[in-house]
Structure 1
């Protein structure tokens, strides 16, 4: 049964090859047979013309014995070309009496199987026929007929015949068939090799897909050319790479979430156990209650942040895109963070053009979340007495917002990783218990959902600048 693409393709190509060569052999056979018949027909007419001339010459110059000249010519044709002749003379010819001396060589009109041939010749036409010429013939003959003219008058009909097998049509057919199948053998091998080469990547992809389904995301399919099948293999490899990356991210996510959840849960469990067992003095119960509350609040915040990230990545976030007055949004967010800035003695500078009102096009609440995350990041990384600058301006029909701090900066080698989940740039800051490592990940994805972009520049011990590009309302473009 045809259970594979290779067998189906091989059989289809072989059938096409067989049919093609068979049709080619038939066409060549008919063409060559027609060519050989026409060649033999030309020979018959040429010899007939010579015989006709000899016959007329014999009737004119040797009235006593015209039979000798005709017989000699006929014998030569039969011996040399296996051509037989038939002659019919009409009764109104001027040399009829002379012709009667050829009585044994003459053809009677009643012997002809198709009388129309004789009628056409006596009208002065030449005819050709392949088949039985007389009623007594038992072989297929190639026959030609031509008129015998004397002084412009048809006095008879001359027919020349040769057996069809003398044209060697059978040998021609066998030669063509043998040649066709001789050529078909290497072509069949070529078809086999090409089919194997075309279906080989599909078989490898099938095996790789099974391994992929069993959880082996490292499998890859070799790409050997640039045809459609190889492009499919390349796409398969890209898919496998993405699945491998997703699997790695899944494992990292589980590890990071487990780590992030274990710490507050362990703290809550320890403090709760101490309270239950009475090992914590009564006067310190309120303090430990506050610690438990803070840990539970951080745990809830972490879970909400993870749910937000999941909603963003799965496309379940609804964006209410509209024109927003950017200056109002900046002041709202900075005012909400003012207590934390004052605690670290940080100054904030908001720089905007004085002669125009800046507007952004996006979701108001999500843009607040983006700016809040960037300012929160700047506050965390800034030391006492530092400065945070929020600079906004138009550039190339976009709103550019730069959030800069004078903090410790980020190592250039770590900049590509700050957008990853649960990444904290420097554990030595001892801020691990205060951070989820998801803020910048969410910020980048929210900005990209609003058709914007975000970049970062940083110099160690000098500070960091985040640059976001936000679309502007259509009426401002």
Structure 2
């Protein structure tokens, strides 16, 4: 079973948050326990010193085993929260802070090893029951009681606090922390779930749109939420891709329709006239005329197939596949004019060529650029008015050469300008004029120039149409004949 991305992201985020929470809790519990123990130790240390001082000075006027002294110890114990135990120099308990009439620990003996540690001066603090004196394990601190007037050992004082008291205090702190942490953790999970789901919504929309693309519906788009993060960029790129796919699908449909139309017309003519000749419908004295029409349509079919093959070859050509070399663009223009001389004469056109006397060396695929120039001049001839003129110009500007082809004829409508480089596009929608053309010439020109990273511009007004394209100038050659860098 596949899990959605937002569920996986939520699990991942929740796991990270939960592990971080566990780590934070562990650190807090250890830190808080040490803090509480440290505070407790400091309080016990201060209290122990005060009690020892009290015993030293009180023993000069009071019997430490008396009831009054025990009452004083009990008062100190209640105010500090620590139990007090007094022993003699041999470790025998002689008094305590217990509130009972008789101290229940009197006569009990503190283990000698404990007394040794207390007497060593290194301090005694540990969890112990003092050899069974206490019924439970307590946190105990012990100090020696030195008599003031002769500096002899008078006895020992042990201050104790039940572990339960310390644990209870720690639990209170931990309880508050856990309660706050649980609320924060819950809110974090909720916010994480909402945000991850919200982040995944555009991806779900894209998946839905992609499935509709697979069914041939290219009209769907992902709603743009105005985000500027990676999801927003992906949404923008996806919609841009959808626009491109929709255009490509429209071009594909138009391409099929146009090819079908271009093939259908000559094939219908050829089939009809051939059948007419074979079944005798066309009399013998008219057959030559119709055979010439059949020949013309056959040649037109041949040109269509050849142009489609050229289009396919050019479309599959990448910039890396171009045979780049240095060539004279002036020579290319002159040769193209010579090749089209018959068509120029047939329409009675004058040719005005403004070409530099010196060679203009450009860099690119010479054969491809020859086809560009040929197609543009051929296009100018087709749409030029009879007995008018076509003008060709070549000039240099910076590191580029500019070639323009101009003719006098019908103005291209403004709404047609963005479409003239499309496949099979013809300004004459009825296709009754210029039957020699099939609407691929300018498309081939644009594709070749795009492969060369060159530009082409079109202007058309007041019956004058001009195509201008750019070429990158070749680096000047060195004296040894090699191109300069």
TM-score using structure 2 length: 0.88
Query: Which residue of structure 2 aligns with residue 470 of structure 1?
Result: 471
The match for 1:205 is 206
Matches within 5 A, 1:244-255: 244-255=246-257
Distance in 1, matches of 2:139 and 2:127, equals 4
- Counterparts in 2 of 1:430 and 1:291: CA distance versus 1, 3 Å: same
Alignment partners' CA distance in 1, 2:333 and 2:2: 69
Report SS of the residue matched to 2:213: helix
- Give the aligned partner of residue 165 of structure 2: 166
Task: Spell out, residue by residue over 1:188-225, the C-alpha distance to the aligned partner (whole angstroms, 9 max, x if none).
Answer: 11111111112222222221211111111111112321
For the 8 Å contact 1:55–1:69, the answer to whether it is kept is: no
Q: Distance in 1 between matches of 2:136 and 2:104?
A: 25
Deviation digits for residues 207-258 of structure 1, max 9, x if unmatched? 1211111111111112321222232222222222111111111111111111
User: Given the superposition, is the C-alpha separation of residues 202 and 451 from structure 1 closer, same or farther in structure 2, using an over 3 Å criterion?
Assistant: closer
- 1:431 aligns with 433
- Relative distance call for 1:298 and 1:103 in structure 2 (3 A) is closer
Shift of 1:137: 4.0
Distance 1:405 1:43, change over 3 A: same
Asked if the contact 2:110–2:133 (Cα under 8 Å) also holds between the matched residues in 1, the reply is: no
The yes-or-no answer on 1:130 pairing with 2:127 is yes
- Does residue 337 of the first structure (1) align with residue 340 of the second (2)? yes
More helix by percentage: 1
Q: How much has 1:413 moved relative to structure 2?
A: 3.1
Q: Distance in 2 between matches of 1:30 and 1:138?
A: 28
Q: SS of the counterpart of 2:85? A: strand
Output aligned runs, 1:87-236, within 5 Å: 87-90=86-89, 105=106, 108-110=109-111, 115=113, 117-135=114-132, 137-151=134-148, 155-167=154-166, 168=168, 169-224=170-225, 225-236=227-238
* Contact 2:327–2:366 (CA under 8 A) maintained in structure 1: yes
CA distance in 2, matches of 1:445, 1:157: 105
User: Cα 1:394–1:132, aligned 2, differ >3 Å: closer, same or farther?
Assistant: farther
Given that 1:54 and 1:69 are in contact with CA atoms closer than 8 Å, whether structure 2 keeps it comes out as no
Please list, as runs of the form range in 1=range in 2, the aligned pairs for 1:273-422 lying within 5 A after superposition. Answer: 273-315=275-317, 318-354=321-357, 356-422=358-424
- Work out the CA distance in 2 between the residues paired with 1:2 and 1:386: 72
TM-score (norm 1): 0.89
Which string of whole-angstrom CA distances, capped at 9 and with x for unpartnered residues, describes residues 387-417 of structure 1?
1121112111111111112223322332111
Structure 2 contact 55–64 (Cα < 8 Å) conserved: no
SS in 1 for 2:287: helix
Alpha-carbon distance, 1:80 to partner? 4.2
Q: Does the CA-based 8 Å contact 1:205-1:221 persist in structure 2?
A: yes
| SS at 1:400 equivalent | strand
Compute the displacement of 1:474 (Å). Answer: 2.6
Is 1:14 paired with 2:11? Answer: no
**Over aligned residue pairs, what C-alpha RMSD do you find?**
2.6
Counterpart CA distance in 2 for 1:401 and 1:88 is 117
* Matched residues, number: 462
| SS across alignment from 1:393 | strand
Task: Indicate the larger mover: 437-446 or 300-309.
Answer: 300-309
CA contact 1:359–1:473 (8 Å) conserved in 2: yes
User: How many Å apart are 1:176 and its aligned residue?
Assistant: 2.6
Indicate whether 1:39 and 2:48 are aligned: no
How far, CA to CA, are the matches of 2:71 and 2:21 in structure 1?
A: 48
Q: 1:409–1:459: 8 Å Cα contact kept in structure 2?
A: yes
Query: The residue matched to 1:283 in structure 2 has which SS?
Result: helix
Summarize deviations over 1:414-465 as a string: whole Å, max 9, x none.
Answer: 211111111112347842422111110101111221232211111132x111
Distance 1:134 1:202 in 2: 71
1:358–1:56: structure 2 CA closer, same or farther, 3 Å change rule?
same
Q: Which residue is equivalent to 1:99?
A: none
Q: Secondary structure at the match of 2:297?
A: helix
Using the TM superposition, name which of 295-304 and 44-53 deviates more.
44-53
* Cα distance in structure 2, aligned partners of 1:300 and 1:263: 13
- Counterparts of 1:365 and 1:382, CA distance in 2: 26
Q: Which runs of 5+ in 1 are unaligned?
A: 97-101
Return the offset for 1:135: 3.5
Give 3-state SS (helix, strand or coil) of 2:345's partner. helix
Q: State the distance in 2 between where 1:144 and 1:186 align.
A: 45
Q: How far apart in 1 are the matches of 2:303 and 2:434? A: 14
